[in-house]
């Protein structure tokens, strides 16, 4: 195999709670992670000169060791002492620095692709163990689907698959610093509202979309929204246009909305397009590991 085409899927957080702060400054979390069918395209090509190179459609992204794709490729090529190299072409669609684990999912795709191309025979679990060295969300991005993430995000347990419903994803044209959000959280930690993560898991098990939407919560909204009120405006807009629930993903600023049917979701997307609140807007669906692998007609290897 000389090259491989991969989908690097984005995630949203249906629930995000921070339960404590470790002495080393890391935050203990309880998060419900959900993969969605919004993806970056990652093409990995085997090369003979031993170098690891990459290209991307986004000019502001690093294409050196700071890119998580390069880190992931290096990790495996070094460990297995592979003398050949790879070129990675990354076509970004997932909003960057937006709470959707874009970089982590690209890294997970590269682990998967390099494992396949060089026939390293690593299991999913092997790749998850290596992924955590790149970032706390990488093991989840290898695993995919609906999962509870604990620890600093790397302790994963599968949750029964999320209700299949249309998901509208909206990223305003602002940037949020994850570090700033967590620092602000530390200052008001005693006063934030904690979501009912266990109740949320029960509603997911029961496939109860209304129950899920009434219980979903993200503790980081309490600090990100006062800094960027546009996030609340986008949530309100989605709810006014038929979303059953809407919430910020990760540390933001991306907002997602769940809809009961496609017609309402499409109309809400159209209505949001007409405002000047969002820079990137996607209507997508929930990803479920059981539906995979996809039809043979799909040109992707993952």
The catalytic residues are: 11, 137
Which residue, 62 or 229, is less far from ligand ATP as judged by CB?
62
**By rule CB under 6 A, what string of x and - marks binding of each residue 235-254 to ligand ATP?**
---------------xx---
d(CA 76, CA 105) in angstroms, rounded, equals 16
**Of 146, 250, 150, residue with least CA distance to 201:** 146
Span near ligand ATP by CB under 6 A; candidates 14-22, 92-100, 112-120, 166-174: 92-100
Among 27, 122, 137, 145, binds ligand ATP (CB under 6 A): 137
* C-beta closer to ligand ATP: residue 203 or 252: 252
Q: How far is CA 107 from the centre of its chain?
A: 12
Assigned token pair, 277: 């609140």
Binding of residue 63 to ligand ATP (CB under 6 A)? no
Residues contacting residue 253 through CB under 8 Å, at least 6 positions apart: 98, 99, 171, 172, 174, 175, 176, 224, 228, 230, 231
Query: Contacting ligand ATP (CB under 6 A), which of 45, 178, 214, 289?
Result: 178
- Residue 116 neighbours by CB under 8 Å, 6+ apart: 1, 4, 301
Residue 205: helix, strand or coil by DSSP?
A: helix
Q: What is the largest CA-CA distance in the chain?
A: 57
Is 154 a binding residue for ligand ATP by CB under 6 A? The answer is no
Residue 166 near residue 261 (C-beta atoms within 8 A): yes
Site for ligand ATP contains 192 (CB under 6 A): no
Find the binding residues for ligand ATP in span 99-118 (CB under 6 A): 99-104, 106
Q: Which stretch binds ligand ATP (CB under 6 A): 24-32, 93-101, 120-128, 262-270?
A: 93-101
Sign of the Cα pseudo-torsion (276, 249, 264, 282, in order): positive
Q: Distance between CA atoms of 268 and 259, rounded to whole angstroms? A: 9
- The yes or no reply on residue 75 touching ligand ATP (CB under 6 A) is no
Binding status of residue 12 toward ligand ATP by CB under 6 A: no
Instruction: For ligand ATP, give the closer residue by CB, 8 or 209.
Output: 8
Give the nearest distance from C-beta 78 to ligand ATP in angstroms.
Answer: 18
Q: Is 15 in the site for ligand ATP (CB under 6 A)?
A: no
Which residues of the chain form contacts with ligand ATP (CB under 6 A)? 61-62, 66-69, 96-104, 106, 137, 178, 250-251
């Amino acid at each position: 195999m000389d090259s491989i085409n991969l989908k690097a899927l984005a995630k949203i957080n249906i629930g995000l709670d921070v339960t404590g702060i470790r002495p080393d400054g890391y935050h203990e979390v309880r998060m419900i992670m959900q993969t969605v069918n919004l993806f970056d395209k990652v093409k990995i090509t085997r090369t003979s000169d031993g170098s690891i190179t990459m290209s991307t459609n986004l000019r502001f992204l690093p294409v050196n060791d700071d890119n998580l794709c390069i880190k992931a490729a290096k990790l495996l090529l070094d460990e297995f002492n592979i003398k050949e190299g790879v070129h990675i072409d990354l076509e970004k669609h997932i909003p960057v620095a937006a709470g959707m684990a874009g970089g982590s999912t690209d890294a997970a795709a590269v682990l998967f692709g390099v494992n396949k191309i060089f026939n390293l025979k690593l299991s999913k679990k092997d790749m998850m163990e290596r992924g955590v060295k790149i970032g706390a969300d990488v093991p989840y991005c290898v695993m995919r689907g609906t999962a509870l993430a604990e620890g600093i995000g790397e302790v994963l347990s599968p949750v029964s698959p999320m209700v299949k419903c249309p998901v509208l994803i909206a990223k305003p044209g602002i940037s949020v610093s994850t570090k700033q959000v967590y620092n602000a959280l530390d200052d008001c930690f005693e006063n934030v509202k904690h979501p009912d993560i266990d109740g949320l898991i029960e509603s997911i098990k029961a496939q109860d979309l209304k129950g899920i939407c009434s219980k979903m919560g993200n503790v980081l909204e309490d600090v990100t929204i006062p800094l960027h009120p546009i996030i609340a405006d986008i949530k309100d807009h989605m709810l006014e246009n038929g979303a059953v629930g809407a919430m910020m993903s990760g540390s933001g600023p991306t907002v997602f909305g769940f809809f009961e049917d496609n017609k309402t979701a499409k109309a809400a997307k159209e209505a949001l397009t007409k405002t000047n609140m969002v820079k990137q807007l996607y209507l997508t669906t929930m990803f479920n590991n059981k539906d995979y692998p996809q039809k043979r007609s799909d040109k992707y290897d993952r």
